[in-house]
Structure 1
Amino acid sequence: MRMVRVGDRWRVSRAWPVALRPYVHSYAGYWEEAATPFRVRIVPTGRAVVLISLGEPFAQVHRLSEHGPAVRVVGSLIAGLEDGPRIADHPGGQEAIRLELTPLGAYRLFALPMRELTNTVVELTDVLGPRAGELVERMSHARDWAERFDLLDAALLARLGEGPAPAPEVAHAWQLLERSGGTIPVARIAQEIGWSHGYLVRKFTQQIGLTPKMSGRVLRFHRAIGLMARGAVDLSALTATCGFYDQAHLNREFRALAAITPGQIVAGRLTEGAVAL
């Protein structure tokens, strides 16, 4: 068990079971000592998120491109893959467990077409049913974080064991995109897996949630902000490393996918796909 302070919050984590590693990208609990309201900009990461709320939930969550009322979330939530930014407001007093799932892990866990969750935030029980609510209740009354993680591991292993297996061709297509950092052409992916371009797009979007082209854009962007978070701020070198045509292309993608500039990413505090505002 590892515990560290991240800003105003504490983060607790441990290694998850080997059987979960193909499906879970990250896994941690959080809690605040003081109830301080905060707002974050959530940017695309190429992953789905499950947030199990054991304290105060987010007050509202909305996409910057939406002009209607914000989505109010009253408890634990699921967020599908995104192709744009989302703003989340929290009243403070957060205590939660946050999981980042690989797209195919999410497809297996949620057992529904991933395109139904694209750019969407829904209550946990809307997808996983009332048993998920019972699990959250048990976790909230657990003795400590180790017991909470034990309960979660058991539930994930059981659910993933029953979930649909993704098409091997879609899994291979995602691996090609991820390993290339989103730079491999879609035509080359279709040729390698032996599908037509149109069939690849349909099956990939059903099981991943984004098209192959958009997935590549998100992966390039996510690689760039990851390097920036680790101190790589030479934009010329970053442009070449991450496969952007030029710095203007890099700037356009940052605005399109996150409504933020590279400089604002550097100046902000990026933590697991969220920038403090």
Structure 2
Amino acid sequence: MQLLRYRPASPLDTFIDCFWYSRGYAPQRRRERALPGGRADLTFNLHEDRIRTFTSAEDKLGLMARGAVVHGPQSRYFVLDARRHVHVVGVHFLPGGGSLLGVPLSELCDRHVPLEDLWGERAACLREQLIEAAAPRAMFAILEQELLRSLRQTTLVHPAISFALRRFDAGPMTARIEPIRRQTGYSERRFATLFSDGVGMTPKRYARVQRLSRVVRDLASGRADLAGIALQAGYYDQAHLNHDFRELAGTSPGNYTPMPGRNSLHESIESDAPVKR
């Protein structure tokens, strides 16, 4: 399986973690559980004109999008379809970076929206350009130019929210919302509104997701001391960690198994639920 990543230059690097590309044939591929990361993603399927996502491992119907889908900032896991023929390209945004999509991220939280619902015919034209591109490097260049165009039409992330995100990212296990909010100078209600519009979820929910992400990174690195992981991540105890992990990730910390060579927020689901076509 071919997997490439490319980090764009300034000014897009303040909005986008990376562009990515994957191609190959995986006959044994299973559905994947995507754990929440608190940021948006954009995916184009270049092999066929559909992308299906599921709300849970038990969901048998799923949601179908034509060609390209926006995964809004998620506060709990969702499930990706088991595509055997893989030919996809996408954008992994930084927290708040999904504002380049042109809508308040609060409208996309915990949703999977066809790109054509946001961009209309522009979405289909962009996908056609990506299909016709000769190589991944050319696809990345196309995406870069398209999102630079979006940047010129986008209201930038509010400075108070950029400050709050830096504080959360610097220490998600110890950062507390109220001291950060006070430092911005905004009221609790105004800060919550700015944060939800700019990031896609409330400060409390975002902090909870970032705490989970810290645990996932520790587990993916091979660390097995759940009690120590729980305390360092800011949980009361291991039982608190287990409860949060099951609710947000759909599995237990002990059963979590990251996919080799993939983002630690992805894991294979052992059994595929039958899908209604």
Q: TM-score, with normalisation over the residues of structure 2?
A: 0.89
* Deviation, structure 1 residue 129: 2.8
- Out of 92, 96, 102, the residue aligned to residue 104 of structure 1 is 96
Deviations 1:91-135 (A, max 9, x none): 32111112210232111x122111110110011121123223211
Distance 2:130 2:58 in 1: 34
Matched AA of 1:207: G
Aligned to 2:236: 245
Deviations 1:206-242 (A, max 9, x none): 2211100010000010111012112222212211221
SS at 2:254 equivalent: helix
Aligned to 1:23: 15
Q: In the alignment, is the contact (CA less than 8 A) between 2:67 and 2:127 conserved in 1?
A: no
Superposition RMSD on alpha carbons, in Å? 2.1
- Out of 260, 264, 268, the residue aligned to residue 255 of structure 2 is 264
Aligned to 1:155: 146
Higher mean C-alpha displacement, 33-42 vs 152-161: 33-42
* Deviation, structure 1 residue 36: 4.8
Q: In the alignment, is the contact (CA less than 8 A) between 1:30 and 1:95 conserved in 2?
A: yes
Matched AA of 1:276: S
Q: In the alignment, is the contact (CA less than 8 A) between 1:29 and 1:96 conserved in 2?
A: yes
* Deviation, structure 1 residue 249: 1.1
Task: Assess, with a 3 A threshold, how the Cα gap between structure 1 residues 262 and 142 changes in structure 2: closer, same or farther.
Answer: same
Identity of aligned residues (%): 25
Matched AA of 1:88: L
1:200 aligns with 2:200: no
* Deviation, structure 1 residue 18: 2.8
Task: Assess, with a 3 A threshold, how the Cα gap between structure 1 residues 204 and 59 changes in structure 2: closer, same or farther.
Answer: closer
Q: In the alignment, is the contact (CA less than 8 A) between 1:239 and 1:245 conserved in 2?
A: yes
Task: Assess, with a 3 A threshold, how the Cα gap between structure 1 residues 237 and 100 changes in structure 2: closer, same or farther.
Answer: same
* Deviation, structure 1 residue 268: 4.4
- Out of 185, 200, 210, the residue aligned to residue 209 of structure 1 is 200
1:46 aligns with 2:49: no
Q: How many matched pairs? A: 267
Distance 1:54 1:67 in 2: 25
Deviations 1:129-159 (A, max 9, x none): 3223211101111111111111111111121
SS at 1:18 equivalent: coil
* Deviation, structure 1 residue 90: 2.9
Segments of 5+ residues of structure 1 without an aligned counterpart are 1-8
Q: TM-score, with normalisation over the residues of structure 1?
A: 0.89
Aligned to 1:70: 62
Q: In the alignment, is the contact (CA less than 8 A) between 1:49 and 1:99 conserved in 2?
A: yes
Task: Assess, with a 3 A threshold, how the Cα gap between structure 1 residues 95 and 134 changes in structure 2: closer, same or farther.
Answer: same
1:87 aligns with 2:62: no
- Out of 123, 129, 137, the residue aligned to residue 132 of structure 1 is 123
Matched AA of 1:111: G
Deviations 1:166-221 (A, max 9, x none): 22112212221222225322111111111121221122112211100010000010
